Amino acid sequence: MNQQDGYADDIVKGFVIWSMVWGLVAVLLGVFISFQIAFPQLNFPPYLTYGRLRPIHTNAGIFGWGIGSFMAFFIYITQRLTRTSLWSPALAKAQLWLFNVVIALAAVTLAMGMNRSKEYAELEWPVASLVVVLWVIFAVNIVMTIVKRREEQMYISLWYILATLVGVAVLYLVNNASIPVSLTKSYSAYAGANDANVQWWYGHNAVAMVLTTPPLAIFYYFLPKATGVPIYSHRMGVVAFWSLIFMYLWTGAHHLLWAPVPDWVQTLAMGFSVMLIAPSWAAVFNGYFSMNGQWHQMRENYLVKFLIFGITFYGMQTLQGPSQSIRTFSAFIHFTDWVPGHVHMGTLGWVSLVLFAAIYYTVPRLYHTEVYSIPMANMHFWLVLTGQLIFSITMWIAGVQQAAMLNATNPDGSLHYSFIETLAELYPYWYMRAAGGVIYLAGLLLFLYNIYKTITVGKAQAAVQPA
């Protein structure tokens, strides 16, 4: 079924296209700031410095590319799993406009230095208020579509979608509670260690509700579509879902190990973080077991490559994350380049690979055509995989070396290396990271060209068809 059957697919097209635009902005900025670290002379104050551009990069990546794509696929998936047209297409059109206004305002205000200094919650209160309006519009539309559904059975993707809608709303409202003192400045409603605790309760659960549950909803929907066989176990998926939701909410304080928050809070977060391996890997095994008898599709079906490598990076991410939550290991790698290597394996490896597959599957169907070039899609896959691996692996090695040097001591207990000596040793890794980013960008440009040609071919075919 499509637009002619009552589904609001024009909205899906809009969100897909704009999410790709913001995704390109995010990667371009990411590559540029990686060069700024390797070549500090590329910082041009006040607007084009690393400090101003880095939050624009993360906001464009997580909210522009990530949330934009999730909005597209939540609308696409929900209509089809419920066999119900979107509750209000007019509301969704307003949502698309507001989404782009918010992302553009975020970029402008962050470039001007308006920043709450909270990671992933940098936006000042006027823009943050618009985000709340945007999310309410989105959530109401999806929830009402599910309420009015014609399909009684709720597939696992719908559970993840509902969790995302509720989770993001709660997290964003609590952590963004602030006291405005002017149109461009506000202060957190919390003070001291409590503020840090709330921030990282938000920060880590934003990873859960933005970078985990939405891509899992998309993975569970598109893997069976791509392979042509059902998911291995829906029951395993539901059990893993509830376990994941329950455990994730307690883990935020593992970002504050060795900080002035109570020991029992840190230990609780550490324990739940380690337990998270079980539900996370239940999803990974569900994906792998779904491939029983279908592994040949890894050679023959480009969509499957994106999805299976994506879920594999999710599995690696969910082993690395809990290990980093253990006090001794955290003390070693915290505040080193290990952390950006970990984060980018999740964003470039897990989230983006799944989104690439979803876009490759969806766009030809929305425009009633075939993907323009499968060889180009395969080349895109290998370029982004290579770029991401170079990025992450060099950062992991750099992080370990950095940690070892920072912790090295002389027999009298004094530090063996100065901070500058440690810094100088990192430059070769930063050059390699920038090179990895360039390779990833090349793959992304190939992807955008392939999708652009797919859309133009689809429109041309539609134009010559008789009315």
Taking a C-beta distance cutoff of 8 angstroms, is the pair 258, 242 a contact?
no
Q: Which two tokens stand for residue 423?
A: 């810094």
Q: Which two tokens stand for residue 289?
A: 């077991």
Taking a C-beta distance cutoff of 8 angstroms, is the pair 326, 274 a contact?
yes
Q: Which two tokens stand for residue 32?
A: 């540029």
178-182 and 185-188 as β-strands: parallel, antiparallel, unpaired?
antiparallel
What is the model's pLDDT at position 3?
53
- Strand, coil or helix: what is 117? coil
DSSP assignments along 2-35, one per residue:
-GGGT--HHHHHHHHHHHHHHHHHHHHHHHHHHH
Q: For every one of its 467 residues, what pLDDT tens digit does the chain have, with 9 covering 90 and above?
A: 455 568 999 999 999 999 999 999 999 999 999 999 999 999 999 999 999 999 999 999 999 999 999 999 999 999 999 999 999 999 999 999 999 999 999 999 999 999 999 999 999 999 999 999 999 999 999 999 999 999 999 999 999 999 999 999 999 999 999 999 999 999 999 999 999 999 999 999 888 999 999 999 999 999 999 999 999 999 999 999 999 999 998 899 999 999 999 999 999 999 999 999 999 999 999 999 999 999 999 999 999 999 999 999 999 999 999 999 999 999 999 999 999 999 999 999 999 999 999 999 999 999 999 999 999 999 999 999 999 999 999 999 999 999 999 999 999 999 999 999 999 999 999 999 999 999 999 999 999 999 999 999 998 988 887 65
Q: Which amino acid is at 161?
A: I
Phi, psi values for residue 248, rounded to 5°: -60, -40
What is the model's pLDDT at position 239?
95
Integer Cα distance of 270 and 251 in angstroms: 7
Nearest alpha carbon to residue 93 among 61, 147, 141, 128:
141
Taking a C-beta distance cutoff of 8 angstroms, is the pair 213, 283 a contact?
no
Taking a C-beta distance cutoff of 8 angstroms, is the pair 81, 157 a contact?
yes
Cis peptide before 46 (omega within 30 of 0): yes
Q: Which two tokens stand for residue 269?
A: 């977060």
Integer Cα distance of 216 and 214 in angstroms: 5
Integer Cα distance of 67 and 19 in angstroms: 8
E strand or H helix at 187: strand 185-188
Q: Which two tokens stand for residue 9?
A: 């697919």
- Strand, coil or helix: what is 415? strand
What is the model's pLDDT at position 4?
52
